[in-house]
Structure 1
Amino acid sequence: MVKVVQPAFDRVFQGDEGAAELAKVLWKETVAALKELDAATAANLARADRYVRAKVEFENLYPMAFQQGPVLKGEEGGEYFNYRWSACEKLNERMLKLEKAMFGEAAVKASAKKPAAGSTAADEFLGPNHGLRQ
């Protein structure tokens, strides 16, 4: 197991105490999840640092991007793509790649039993007597 040292988020996010505090919380949560899976390796801790920085940046950009939407209106009536929206999409992709690298992909377990003849996938949700008239 590698020694876990929290990055100096106060220095990284100079002048933005809220971002530094959010980074500290996210760091603790991410490292705890890695430890739970016995995956707190040097490589994953470096990924966790990049993940936390991206997540903090995303949390700062997303509210404004969401409010503005993906397309903005120009002063002369034209439209153009919102760069904040694009940045949020790219940060989402980066965070997903880091999450997959740290935690792997969620595996869907195959069903242990075969469905009965004449049944459908919806039967599980509709109940055993959904097609019967009373």
Structure 2
Amino acid sequence: MVKVVQPAYGRVFQDDEGAAELAKVLWKETVAALKEAEAVTLANLARADRYVRAKVEFENLYPTAYQQGPVLKGEEGGEYFNYRWSACEKLNERMLKLEKAMFGEATVKAGREKPAAGKVAADEFLGPDNGIRQ
């Protein structure tokens, strides 16, 4: 069994106590999800740490990026792409890759089996010719 040790997020986010606290909460949630999925491995714990750090960065950047929008106005009237917006997109992609690596692809559960083509519930009442007159 793999021993789960939370990284020292207080040292990682030295100047931001809020970020350190958020990281601790996210770590506990992520490890709980890994335990539920029976996917606690050394590799997944390392991924969980990277995921938590990216998620904290995303949570710090996103409010400003959202408020500013993807395009900013320059001082001389031109427009340029908001690098915070781009950073949020890249963090989103990174988090998705880490989630897929830890938990796999989401799969849709198969629905009920469909009847074979040409078969209907009334076939037993209609007889061998299925009610089709030729």
Alignment RMSD: 1.2
Aligned residues: 116
Question: Which has the greater radius of gyration?
Answer: 2
- Listed as ranges, the gaps of 5+ residues in structure 2 are 118-134
1:100 equivalenced with 2:100 (yes/no): yes
- Structure 1 residue 28, shift from structure 2 partner: 0.2
1:112 equivalenced with 2:112 (yes/no): yes
1:126 aligns to what? Answer: none
Query: TM-score, normalised to structure 2's length?
Result: 0.84
Structure 1: distance between partners of 2:75 and 2:110:
55
Deviates more, 1:19-28 or 1:101-110: 101-110
2:2 aligns to what? Answer: 2
2:64 aligns to what? Answer: 64
1:75 aligns to what? Answer: 75
Structure 1: distance between partners of 2:43 and 2:94:
16
Structure 2: distance between partners of 1:18 and 1:110:
43
Q: Runs of 4 or more off by more than 6 Å in structure 1?
A: none
Query: TM-score, normalised to structure 1's length?
Result: 0.84
2:124 aligns to what? Answer: none
Structure 2: distance between partners of 1:33 and 1:108:
19
1:43-98 deviation per Cα after TM superposition (whole angstroms, max 9, x unaligned): 00000000000000000000000000000000000000000000000000000000
